[in-house]
Structure 1
Amino acid sequence: MIKSNYRVIAVMSGTSLDGIDIIFATYMYNNGWSFKIHHFETVKYSKNWKSTLGDLVNNSINELQDIDNSYSEYLTTVISNFIKKHKIETIDFIASHGHTALHQPENGLTYQIGNKQILADILNEKIICDFRIQDVKFGGQGAPLVPIGDRLLFQDYDYCLNLGGFANISFEYNAERIAYDICPVNIVLNHYVSKLNLDYDDKGQLASMGKVNQKLFSELNKLDFYNQQPPKSLGLEWVGLNIFPLIDSFKLKLEDILRTFVEHVAFQISKALLKEGEAVLVTGGGVYNEFFINRLKNFSKLRIIIPKNEIVEFKEALIFGFLGVLKARNEVNCLKSVTGASHNHSSGKILIQNT
């Protein structure tokens, strides 16, 4: 008989390099899915890890494999500490999203580090991981993967908008789930404030002091990606090729860079939000950028709903845990309407401790 209750640890790391998000949650099925998050925290990266992860696209495959081994071993320490700290005794499995090293679906390539056999061997738990690679093999983008969770766990909202390293959106359209990356957000803003030895622009205060450079604003909005139809997704490589060189060519003051890019992001997101008065669930670190949220409200006419902090900060980890649940049940966790794959499928691999 298939289970209706799952106790899961889920870990993930996003492109904004805030740290490793880790949660312990229960997922319950009774004529529909519900969840309860019991424990949650973000383990900040050391300077060395932050530097290493921020430079992954410049490594060879052999170098990435070495980093993958080290990162997977590091994850076992983070997870083990979390289990001990919260005295967690019963776990059905651990879901690991890992960290995106390469994402070039147009070349049939995606690579997540943090999904090695060592996780199962050291932790002595079932691991469900590597959720993207199968979708790319089926001709999909391998991203975004969160929309199946949006559909089944957050069905009360018209749109689910996440503001992390990238902004992505998910919604129902003609009885299908549609989702895609809209534009970069924190991956760009944090890059520029790091020049001041800051992790982020607190509440958007620096951006609020700048002025919009209309020429840069216009050039950003002309980028080809914004004219492409979904499914589509973004990676660090695209930002490095298209965003940073363009911004840097203008030689603007930092505040003006931030102000202009905030305006660009608010504008691009407003184009994706279709109908006035509908409910938008907004999560991710960008929620705390009050100046940006105000600019988004200025551009759009929707009801922007910001949930409690554990959902704002850990919704993606929660949903990757849920992808693991669906994989354990051999149920669809990856939608072709979202990724462009040849068919819906149950993605991820299962690792069991070697005996």
Structure 2
Amino acid sequence: MKRVVLGLMSGTSCDGVTAALVRTAWPPRLRSLRVLAWRTWAYPPALRRDLLSIASLATPALAALHHRLGGAFARAAETLLRQARVSPGAVAAIGCHGHTAWHVPRTDGTFQIGDASQVAERTGVATVADFRSRDVAAGGQGAPLVPWVDWMLFRRSRGAVAVQNIGGIANVTVVTPCREGVFAFDTGPGMMLIDEAVRRITGGRVGYDRDGRMARGGAVDLAMARDLLAHPWFQKKPPKTTGRELFGARFLDDAMRRHPGVRGADLVRTLAFVTASSIARAYARFVRPACALSEMVLSGGGARHAVVVDDLRRLAGVPVRLSNDLGLPAEAKEAVAFALLALAAIRGEPASLPGATGARHASVLGAIYPA
């Protein structure tokens, strides 16, 4: 079977689509995995605005966004294949996560948009999408789904590793030597609140805090940080997930109303501290009582935010390494993961971990759109 796969990821930061082209053995292992090419394309401003306001869109606008986003995914896949000089005929599958429009699995289900039919049609490659629904049908949270990939790539013969991703939302996989011991959960906001604050401070001219420069110029407001970290969601036991529904613009609105004196760089610095502190506290509450950690492997856009990373090194109580140091680009890691999940789907291999999602059983994930 062909072992080249492509992954497409659009995360809760709504900043763009990341595509990664991967060559792998089966089963996938870090030592045999090679990222052939990857790239992130920023969304056009109008598309990004619609994604940020997705919960308020009427049905016609949501349907149009589903179609437009499918076109953006298809263009990303076509462009990366062309730039990497890889023929679509050499690609076993494309994994398209889509973009999460709503995720309240216990009551309302999960819903990702981005028409995968367009990806399959335009590339001529079988495309796997809608990865989360089957796990929800099996009683799970539908997230996180990356832990199966984390276990395949990062497990050690001894000890546990925290594979920490910081995207819009932050999530951790605790990788143990045996599959049954793996557990995972969202730790809380990642870059989502920081990005939202930067957009407001700059009047929308800047969408994120590049390398942590704005946060570096501010000071932590401890009263605000304590207030945000007291939210009851942080005390909730895993498995648990969250998203923009909780830690989005409304959450920041409420925080700024309660703390009107915290503005500008101080606000960004405080939110960076909240992200790092929520991760460290999650480890103290939920990880260390279960196992001893040897290190943290950090990935996602937050791995580039120097202030968040510095705070993590100081607060987490465990050595921190970037996934880049292990040959896996930090910002491409989730796209790589969905490439591997697509390969599992077309092989008929279960790729969910009930210990991570709370499902009754492991499932083959995704709906397949044939070439």
Q: TM-score, normalised by structure 1?
A: 0.92
The equivalent of 1:221 in structure 2 is 229
The equivalent of 2:162 in structure 1 is 159
The equivalent of 1:176 in structure 2 is 181
The equivalent of 2:253 in structure 1 is 245
| CA deviation after TM superposition for structure 1 residue 61, in Å | 4.1
Match of 1:230 among 234, 238, 257: 238
Structure 1 residue 137 and structure 2 residue 141: aligned?
no
Letter in 2 for 1:186: M
The equivalent of 2:268 in structure 1 is 258
| CA deviation after TM superposition for structure 1 residue 311, in Å | 2.0
Runs of 5+ unmatched residues, structure 2: none
- The C-alpha deviation readout for 1:199-223, integer Å capped at 9, x for no partner, is 2212222222222222211211111
- Partners of 1:50 and 1:220 in 2: how far apart? 27
Match of 2:350 among 307, 318, 332: 332
1:1-355 aligned at under 5 Å gives the runs 3=1, 5-29=2-26, 34-89=32-87, 90-156=90-156, 158-172=161-175, 175-195=180-200, 196=202, 197-240=205-248, 243-249=251-257, 250-251=259-260, 252-273=262-283, 274=287, 278-308=294-324, 310-353=328-371
Assess if the C-alpha contact under 8 Å between 1:127 and 1:352 holds in 2.
yes
| CA deviation after TM superposition for structure 1 residue 242, in Å | 6.0
| CA deviation after TM superposition for structure 1 residue 268, in Å | 1.4
The change in CA–CA distance for 1:147 and 1:115 in structure 2 (over 3 A counts) is farther
Assess if the C-alpha contact under 8 Å between 1:282 and 1:304 holds in 2.
yes
Assess if the C-alpha contact under 8 Å between 1:69 and 1:116 holds in 2.
no
Aligned residues: 350
The change in CA–CA distance for 1:164 and 1:32 in structure 2 (over 3 A counts) is closer
> Residue 158 of structure 1: SS of its match in structure 2?
strand
- Partners of 2:174 and 2:293 in 1: how far apart? 15
State, as a whole percentage, how many aligned pairs show the same letter.
26
The change in CA–CA distance for 1:253 and 1:133 in structure 2 (over 3 A counts) is same
- The C-alpha deviation readout for 1:148-177, integer Å capped at 9, x for no partner, is 000001224611001111110001468421
- The C-alpha deviation readout for 1:9-60, integer Å capped at 9, x for no partner, is 1111111123111111112026967311111111111111111111111113
Assess if the C-alpha contact under 8 Å between 1:136 and 1:341 holds in 2.
yes
Assess if the C-alpha contact under 8 Å between 2:155 and 2:175 holds in 1.
no
- The C-alpha deviation readout for 1:272-331, integer Å capped at 9, x for no partner, is 334577211001111111122111111122110113285211111111111111111111
Letter in 2 for 1:11: L
**283-292 vs 212-221, which deviates more?**
212-221
The change in CA–CA distance for 1:20 and 1:176 in structure 2 (over 3 A counts) is same
- Partners of 1:321 and 1:260 in 2: how far apart? 35
